[in-house]
Amino acid sequence: ITNIAFNLATASEIEINIYNIKGQKVTTIINDKLRAGNHVLQWNGKDKNGKACASNIYFAQVKLNGKQSVIKKITLLK
């Protein structure tokens, strides 16, 4: 399990997607409106079909209110 922690200054629409090294979308962690404050979401290392992902490098893309805000590298080790 990988924790993704972030702070929202104001209530915002947030979308967090996980992509593999080839740029293919693996899964969506959240696509919803969240209140202002600190948040911690988890990725369980599985794809959108519930299949375990291989050990590799992945990227978490964060969009706030429809605009890309940050991309973070995630290393998944088993």
Q: Which tens digit of pLDDT belongs to each residue from 6-22?
A: 999 999 999 999 999 99
Q: Which amino acid is at 36?
A: A
pLDDT of the residue at 47: 97
Q: What's the CA gap between 16 and 25, in Å, rounded?
A: 11
Ramachandran quadrant class, 37 (left: phi over 0; alpha: psi -120 to 50; beta: rest): left
DSSP state of 34: E
Q: Which amino acid is at 25?
A: K
At 66, list the tokens: 């429809």
Q: Which tens digit of pLDDT belongs to each residue from 38-73?
A: 999 999 999 999 999 999 999 999 999 999 888 999
Contact by Cβ (8 Å): 41, 8: no
